[in-house]
Structure 1
């Protein structure tokens, strides 16, 4: 079974790419996989196995 998380990143204007990379790496360490990133990075949909 899968579980999902929707994240609305608050990246600001400075170092946006680095902040996004850090955020995605943080979630990856928790077992999340990116399923979708909305245009302009408004929200990100993440997925992982619920019974991990």
Structure 2
């Protein structure tokens, strides 16, 4: 079974790429994997196995 998490990405005025990279890496450490990043929104959808 899978579980999902939606994160609202908060863009700043500077260092957007670095902040995004840090957010993705923090979630990856916990076993989350990106399945969608909205092009016109600031939402990232993550997925992972529930019984990991």
Shift of 1:37: 0.2
Which stretches of structure 1, 4 residues or more, deviate above 2 A after TM superposition?
A: none
Larger helix proportion, structure 1 or 2? 1
Q: Structure 2: which 5+ runs fail to align?
A: none
TM-score (norm 2): 0.93
TM-score normalised by the chain length of structure 1: 0.93
The 1-side partners of 2:41 and 2:13 are apart by 12
In structure 1, list runs of 5 or more residues that go unmatched: none
